[in-house]
Structure 1
Amino acid sequence: MTTAAEIAIPQSAEDIAPSWVQQVLQKDLPGVTITDVHVKGSISEGEGFMSDIIAFDAVGTRNGASERYSLVAKLTDFKRPLTIFKQWSKDFQIKSETIEVKFYSSAVPELLSVANTNTEGESKANHPPANSFVPKCYFAATDPSSMVSVRVMENLKTQGFSIKPNRQSLSREEMMLAAGALAQLHGLSHRLELRSGVPLPEKYDWILTRSDATDVEDVVTYQCQTAVKGFAAAFPDQVDLVSRLEKLDPQRAFLNLEEDQRLKVLCHAECWVNNIMFKYAGDVPTEARLVDWQSPVYMPPTYDLTLLFLCAAGWDVFHNHRDAILAHYHHKLQETLGPNESSGLQSYTLEQLKVDFKADCVHGVIGRLIRLVLLPADPDLVRMIQEIQGWGVI
């Protein structure tokens, strides 16, 4: 990935010129010459609400052959979040965007370096393997004066990837793929931590902690309280359930998990239906990519999994296929760690994973409540929370 010091940060689509794109691609594609850029305009699918995602095609030559690259430039947009959260903190947005820049520029190459080695033992850092959990990123940096960040990535839509339309719940097969992507993230982060000998929060001081999120704590608490009121209005017969939901404290729940002594991994922390892109062969999902990496945290693996189930699955998948999906996650986790890796996660049994999942489902419930403005409460949610209530965790 080209270093930030060498390349200017575009402030808008008008700055995405052939010479700039050539600089961006040069390190990963040495010898490339970009002769033209076709900007297609803004898209919103797959990358949250803080950024303006500009799709463009770059045309040129490399090694004497004509080439065409379908890319997106993800630019910070300070106005966009205010259309959703009136009290949004610009400082927190800058922090979040900078975190994603550091994730792509620092963590991804190192994560992939412990995932891939060729026969000579040379690393293939920053080149995602087949069925990688993350899109390919060519360049990520922040302008220190404007604090606008840019991330230039492969355009997954042109490769056949898409987000489930209208925020529909994921099928069993889609959940399997999403859980597998999380297993790859969690397993690689654990391998990296073991091989470096440095805890990830020390290695990456940008990993989000509770103290980093103080700017939005009140917003999150208010959202949760407002959501519970909306839930109560939609389901007036659920008096006992509403009473339990009213007692949830997002700040305390996050702090308790942060202080938990269980083994932790790098978590996506926003793995809900709008941040997962799937590729299909006909109607069959074949690959998944996780997008929107602005809030990774260091938490037990089940932090991601409970959010995935509560914010991406319906009742049938949650109730009837949960064990199979968790078993698939566990298998992929062990596969990612590899047979020769001596690690804490290798002794993490499927039964313990299931126990931890149930205990941590309070975080999935809170995550779903916060997103009720985007994922309205429905009978499926009521049934899921009722089952979780039966486990005694809310």
Structure 2
Amino acid sequence: MATASGIAIPQSAEDIAPSWVQQVLQKDLPGVSITDVHVRGSISQGEGFMSDIIAFDAVGIRNGVSQRYSLVAKLTDFKRPLTVMKEWPKDAQIKIDTTEVKFYSDVVPELLSLANPSTERQTDKEETDPPANSLSIPKCYFAATDPSSMVSVRVMENLKTQGFSIKPDRQSLSRDEMMLAAGALAQLHGLSHRLELRVGVPLRQKYDWIVSLSDVKAASMQLAGPMYREAVKEFAAVFPDQADLVARLEKLNLQHPMMEDPRLMVLSHEDAYGNNIMFKCAEDVPTDVRLVDWQVVAYLPPTYDLAFLFLLNADPDVFHHHRDAILAHYHHKLMETLGTDESSGLQSYTLEQLKADFKADCPFGLFHGLIRLRGLHADRGLLQIIQEIKEWGVI
């Protein structure tokens, strides 16, 4: 069935045909003529159980020049999650996929207009290339949902063909990789705050599909609570001499205090762990980053993303010895993204406030970190990080 745009949603790789790809690319590449499509097959990386990511190359002509576009089609697959989780509500799959569709359709164009406002004035520029992507987010050419089947598609650039990849086997991120990821989050947070100032209302009101802080806390305790309790049991079995620490972890309650957080909120990735971060390297040195999988976008304090980033990706050395430098880099990139507008509420956000908020929000990252890393990183490194957090008095 066609969407409001008149473009059909493919149900499988067989539906990815030249005529369909041409329709998808027309908005960003007017005048393109696609003559052939080569489907490479599924390239889902990491856990890869939320969607089927199909790689394909499109061959054609634009402005009299032969072109080749390396793309991926991210399709809803209602059966795929069940291969990893015995019970997975179909409604949950629909919600996260439509959230990502709305993020790419509604939010990303607004963020791009702020990140690179000159593109709005370059209407006379020769149309030979797609618009530059100045965000640490994959370029998305088309995102929509079929209202009858609720199958969603997102057609994006194939980052693998550009040299981007995720870390294998959930390896910890290095200091330099953490710097790049933190900088990408700072750009997202800063641009979202500028967008909020421009529209004059909280982004949670402008985009009512974005979940709030209270939604995130409730979902964490109600839906992920059982998995967290199992993770704590596993931790206790590995470290039987840590009874006091285990007791603190058992009492961790993200719903307390019940009052709404008074801090400024920003658009947050809310799932910044290794499988959702792709790096490009030159001679083993990370040079660029992309944040992928925008299915759980939320409206949160900035340090929630940072707590998630550190607790799910940093080893003890990075967490203890390089944390301040990474947070300082994040703060610098945030201020740089915000610009010099003194009316911006985040402009007065000092590095010391950022560090204090990060420590206060670490229980959020710890909660999700124990769930994600259960059975894999219950080692002395994880213990060292949790012990350091305990010394801060936040658990």
TM-score, L = length of structure 1: 0.93
Match of 2:283 in 1: 282
* Alignment: residue pair count: 388
Superposed CA offset, 1:166-217 (max 9, x none) = 1100000000000000000000000000011011001111102455897886
- Counterpart check, 1:220 vs 2:224: yes
Decide whether aligned partners of structure 1 residues 280 and 231 sit closer, same or farther in structure 2, where only a CA change above 3 A counts: same
- Counterpart check, 1:230 vs 2:231: no
**Alpha carbons 2:140, 2:155 under 8 Å: kept:** yes
Match of 1:191 in 2: 194
Alignment-mate amino acid for residue 248 of structure 1: L
CA distance in 1 between partners of 2:9 and 2:206 (Å): 26
CA distance in 2 between partners of 1:378 and 1:294 (Å): 30
Match runs of 1:272-351 below 5 Å: 272-340=273-341, 342-351=343-352
Match of 1:164 in 2: 167
Match runs of 1:1-394 below 5 Å: 4-45=4-45, 48-118=48-118, 127=131, 129-130=133-134, 132-209=135-212, 210-211=214-215, 218-250=222-254, 252=255, 256=258, 259-340=260-341, 342-373=343-374, 375-394=376-395
CA distance in 2 between partners of 1:3 and 1:268 (Å): 27
**Alpha carbons 2:3, 2:147 under 8 Å: kept:** no
**SS of corresponding position for 1:289:** strand
CA distance in 2 between partners of 1:212 and 1:148 (Å): 25
CA distance in 2 between partners of 1:30 and 1:297 (Å): 33
**SS of corresponding position for 1:308:** helix
CA distance in 1 between partners of 2:374 and 2:49 (Å): 13
CA distance in 2 between partners of 1:31 and 1:153 (Å): 19
Deviation at 1:341, TM superposition (A): 5.4
CA distance in 1 between partners of 2:72 and 2:120 (Å): 34
CA distance in 2 between partners of 1:315 and 1:58 (Å): 45
**Alpha carbons 2:113, 2:119 under 8 Å: kept:** no
Decide whether aligned partners of structure 1 residues 118 and 341 sit closer, same or farther in structure 2, where only a CA change above 3 A counts: farther
Alignment-mate amino acid for residue 297 of structure 1: A
CA distance in 1 between partners of 2:385 and 2:220 (Å): 27
Unaligned runs of 5+ in 2: none
Tell me whether 23-32 or 228-237 shows the greater mean CA deviation.
Answer: 228-237
Superposed CA offset, 1:78-112 (max 9, x none) = 11212222222111110111000000000000011
Decide whether aligned partners of structure 1 residues 140 and 29 sit closer, same or farther in structure 2, where only a CA change above 3 A counts: same
CA distance in 2 between partners of 1:213 and 1:384 (Å): 22
Deviation at 1:338, TM superposition (A): 1.0
Deviation at 1:231, TM superposition (A): 0.8
Superposed CA offset, 1:100-159 (max 9, x none) = 0000000000011111122885699x94544x2201000000011110100000000000
CA distance in 1 between partners of 2:243 and 2:105 (Å): 48
Superposed CA offset, 1:224-256 (max 9, x none) = 011001111111111111111111235x25x85
CA distance in 2 between partners of 1:372 and 1:62 (Å): 47
CA distance in 2 between partners of 1:342 and 1:215 (Å): 34
CA distance in 2 between partners of 1:227 and 1:386 (Å): 17
CA distance in 2 between partners of 1:294 and 1:213 (Å): 17
Deviation at 1:389, TM superposition (A): 0.4
**SS of corresponding position for 2:224:** helix
Percent identity between the two aligned chains: 71
CA distance in 2 between partners of 1:205 and 1:64 (Å): 44
Alignment-mate amino acid for residue 377 of structure 2: P
Decide whether aligned partners of structure 1 residues 212 and 260 sit closer, same or farther in structure 2, where only a CA change above 3 A counts: closer
Decide whether aligned partners of structure 1 residues 339 and 46 sit closer, same or farther in structure 2, where only a CA change above 3 A counts: farther
Tell me whether 366-375 or 158-167 shows the greater mean CA deviation.
Answer: 366-375
Unaligned runs of 5+ in 1: none
CA distance in 2 between partners of 1:70 and 1:119 (Å): 23
CA distance in 1 between partners of 2:133 and 2:311 (Å): 29
**Alpha carbons 1:88, 1:216 under 8 Å: kept:** no
Tell me whether 213-222 or 194-203 shows the greater mean CA deviation.
Answer: 213-222
Decide whether aligned partners of structure 1 residues 348 and 305 sit closer, same or farther in structure 2, where only a CA change above 3 A counts: same
Alignment-mate amino acid for residue 304 of structure 1: D
**SS of corresponding position for 1:229:** helix
Tell me whether 331-340 or 53-62 shows the greater mean CA deviation.
Answer: 331-340
